[in-house]
Amino acid sequence: MLIGELSRRTGVSTRLLRYYEEQGLLDAERDANGYRRYGDDSVLTVRKIRVLLEAGLSTEVIRQVLPCTRSDQPEFDWCAGIRDLLDRELMALDARIEGLQRNQEALTGFLALRPPDE
C-alpha cells in the first residue's frame, strides 16, 4: 500500500510515517518512481509504535523493543535485555516525576506568597 493508504488506515499523518521510517521503526520499499510501498503488516507495526510512544518511550527505545512486541497491546516476547531496558526507562520516568513534583511544590509555594486579589 502507498503511504496515503497507510495513513488513512492508521490515522497517522504521512509526515509521521516518514519520520518513523527515518527512525528505523517502519520499513518501506520504493517503487521505480520513488513512491514508498508498505506491506499489510505495516498497519500493525504503526499501531505498536503508537502504543509504545503513548507509554512514553523514545523512538530509540522503541527501535529496540519493537521486534519483541506481539500485538498492538503492550505484550512482549521477553527478548534478551528488554526487561532491563524497560526497567531503566521506568527508573528514568520515576526520576522525571519526582522532578515535576518538586517543580509543582515550588510553584505552589510561589502562589501561596501572592497577595490576595483586591
Question: How is the chain split into domains, by residue range?
Answer: 1-79, 80-118
Helix H or strand E encompassing 29: strand 29-30
pTM of the entire structure?
0.77
Query: What is the residue-averaged pLDDT of the chain?
Result: 90
Asked if residue 15 has pLDDT above 80, the reply is yes
What would the mean pLDDT of 109-117 be, rounded to a whole number? 82
Q: How confident is the model at residue 72 (pLDDT cuts 50, 70, 90)?
A: low
What does the block give as the cell for 92? 528514568
User: Which CATH code, of 3.40.50.2300, 1.10.286.10, 1.10.1660.10, 3.40.920.10, is assigned to 1-79?
Assistant: 1.10.1660.10
Q: Is the pLDDT of residue 63 over 60?
A: yes
The confidence band for 71, taking pLDDT boundaries of 50, 70 and 90, is low
Q: Which of 59, 41, 60 is nearest to 50 (CA)?
A: 59
Are the C-beta atoms of residues 39 and 68 closer than 8 Å to each other?
Answer: no
